[in-house]
Amino acid sequence: MSTILTLQVDELVISRLRERAAAQGRSPEAEANAILRQALLPPDSGAWAEVNAIRERLAASARAFTDSADLLREDRER
C-alpha cells in the first residue's frame, strides 16, 4: 500500500475528518482511505447481482406476494 502526504489541509476539513472517523470507529487515516475508495473506485456490483437474480426469479414465478405492511397490520389487530 502506498502513502499519501497531504499538505496545507484546512483545519475545518481535518476537524470534520476526525469527527467522521470517530463516528465510524476508525482512525482519521482509515477514514480518509475509506473516503478515497468510495469516491474513486467503482461500486461492488457483485453483491447486488445475486439480489437482482433472486428478484428476477421471483418475478418470473408469477407468484403474488402480499405487502408485509398489510400482514403486520393484520397481526396487530388480533
Instruction: State pTM to two decimals.
Output: 0.55
At 11, list the grid cell: 483545519
| 70: in domain | no
Per-residue pLDDT of 25-73, as tens digits, reads 999 999 999 999 989 987 776 778 888 888 888 888 878 777 888 889 8
Per-residue pLDDT of 16-32, as tens digits, reads 999 999 999 999 999 99
Cell 407468484 belongs to residue: 63
Provide DSSP, 6-59: --S--HHHHHHHHHHHHHHT--HHHHHHHHHHHHHSPP-THHHHHHHHHHHHHH
- Domain extent at residue 53: 10-61
| 34: in domain | yes
Cell 484546512 belongs to residue: 10
**Count of structural domains, the chain:** 1
Rounded Cα distance between 17 and 32, Å, is 7
